[in-house]
Amino acid sequence: MLDIKLIREDTDKVAEALKRRGTDFLSDLKKLDALDNERRNSLQHSENLKNRKKKLSAEVGRLKKEGADAESQMEEVKSINLEIVEWDAKVAESEIQIREILLHIPNIPDPSIPDGLDESGNEELRVIGERPAFDFEPKNHVELAEGLDMLDLKRAAKIAGSRFAVYKNDGARLLRALINFMLDVQCDENGYQELYPPFLVNKESMTATGQLPKFEEDLFVMRDDDLYLIPTAEVPVTNYHRNETLADGDLPIKYTAYTPCFRREAGSYGKDTQGLIRQHQFDKVELVKFVEPENADTELELLVADAESILKKLGLHYRVVVLCAGDIGFSATKTYDLEVWLPAQGCFREISSCSSFGDYQSRRGNIRFKRKTGKPEWICTLNGSGLAAGRLFVALLENYQRADGSVAIPPALRPYLKNREVFEI
């Protein structure tokens, strides 16, 4: 949520900055400004009346104590009350409209990110490692996994529908190993605290991180309980501190969490229908940070490095991309994507998305921090995948495959797989 005061004071500048996303919000901002004026005007009326009311009521108390008559004062308060109700209703109405509009306006893109309206505007920052060389035609992950009896997509479709998977045997074991490996690295080497949060969350949580109210159609919703399946651990973990004021001495706070993620993938019909790339349910180890504003930029770089550390340990070839203003998510101000090389597809594929949100989420969720002296301030939130386990599964199989359909296990992962060196039939 943007700061109404900022909008009030610099409407044009905010509009200009938002325009980089490819949508013009100027009329919304002007409407906000008008509503805000109305609100403050009504509030003045209401507060003046309340002040008068307070004084009169106190007078009634005094008069009654003395045994004097207070009828006229009581009558005046009664009539004032009617006016107060009217003005308060106007205030409330303005506030509701303001909030409704604010909740639908995305975050302002960071000035440092490139212009562009879609992913073609993204910029490659660095490429790490090298493409593996194959002296045979590399298979895709589905062929490999099914060949090794690791995966059963057919029965998954029977059980739940398309875009679901059953991992089996070494597949299930590998997935489990990847999750444990990533959690261990983030906790033991990168200094994150592990959380295991609820997979269902309420409306307030979804609103704070920005999934609601605008993207309800992307979520799985419980029919009878006003709860939503999380699309990412970002939601429960960021909301861990909703409506709290943290001490600056505790910052930065760094959490990692494994959760499954549930996405309806509405609007992506036909995209990535093969295999594990785009599923309704997938597993992810998430990284979430709460930091002071002046450290947000540095902390984002560190977060990316923490996500990268997994890819490096596994010896995977990848690149880092900074997203352009038109391609960042609704709540984000700056985003780096990590894209891993997939030999069978012959392209880089997103495996992590690391974003800085400024105070956008903390305003929505009322998450603040307090320095030793001074007023509470909005905290800055960051998060990123560290990493998506399903896609990492794909990357490992495709990159470490051998001509006979077996798959080598990189050394870093072997302790999690009984020190085996290869998956084979």
Interface residue list for RNA (CB under 7 A): 5, 40, 43-44, 46-48, 50-51, 53-54, 56-58, 60-61, 64, 70, 73-74, 77-78, 81, 368, 370, 375-376
Distance in Å, CB of 110 to RNA, minimum: 24
Identity of the residue, 61 or 415, whose beta carbon is nearer to RNA in the bound complex:
61
Between strands 367-370 and 376-378, the pairing is antiparallel
Identity of the residue, 53 or 319, whose beta carbon is nearer to RNA in the bound complex:
53
Residue 240: count other Cβ atoms within 10 Å of its Cβ. 18
Is the distance from CB of 96 to CB of 305 less than 8 angstroms?
Answer: no
Distance in Å, CB of 84 to RNA, minimum: 9
d(CA 300, CA 105): 23
Distance in Å, CB of 293 to RNA, minimum: 15
Distance in Å, CB of 360 to RNA, minimum: 16
Identity of the residue, 50 or 280, whose beta carbon is nearer to RNA in the bound complex:
50
Identity of the residue, 326 or 358, whose beta carbon is nearer to RNA in the bound complex:
358
Is the distance from CB of 108 to CB of 333 less than 8 angstroms?
Answer: yes
d(CA 116, CA 93): 37
Is the distance from CB of 371 to CB of 249 less than 8 angstroms?
Answer: no
Distance in Å, CB of 86 to RNA, minimum: 13
The residue among 267, 308, 263, 307 whose CA lies nearest residue 282 is: 263
d(CA 185, CA 182): 5
Output the CA–CA distances (angstroms, integers) from residue 167 to 147, 151, 264, 385, in the order listed.
Answer: 13, 5, 20, 21
Is the distance from CB of 352 to CB of 285 less than 8 angstroms?
Answer: no
Which amino acid would we find at residue 259?
A: T
Identity of the residue, 80 or 221, whose beta carbon is nearer to RNA in the bound complex:
80
Is the distance from CB of 8 to CB of 36 less than 8 angstroms?
Answer: yes
Distance in Å, CB of 283 to RNA, minimum: 20
d(CA 109, CA 118): 14
Identity of the residue, 47 or 93, whose beta carbon is nearer to RNA in the bound complex:
47
Distance in Å, CB of 64 to RNA, minimum: 5
Distance in Å, CB of 41 to RNA, minimum: 8
Distance in Å, CB of 179 to RNA, minimum: 20
Distance in Å, CB of 260 to RNA, minimum: 16
Which residues are 288's β-sheet partners? 255, 383
Place of tokens 């800085």: 356
CA atoms within 13 A on the CB side of 47: 7
Give 265's DSSP letter: -
Q: Determine what percent of the chain falls in helix, strand and coil, rounding each to the nearest 5.
A: 45, 20, 35
Identity of the residue, 5 or 126, whose beta carbon is nearer to RNA in the bound complex:
5
Is the distance from CB of 56 to CB of 73 less than 8 angstroms?
Answer: yes
Identity of the residue, 35 or 311, whose beta carbon is nearer to RNA in the bound complex:
35
Identity of the residue, 71 or 135, whose beta carbon is nearer to RNA in the bound complex:
71
Identity of the residue, 213 or 376, whose beta carbon is nearer to RNA in the bound complex:
376
The residue among 167, 351, 347 whose CA lies nearest residue 275 is: 167
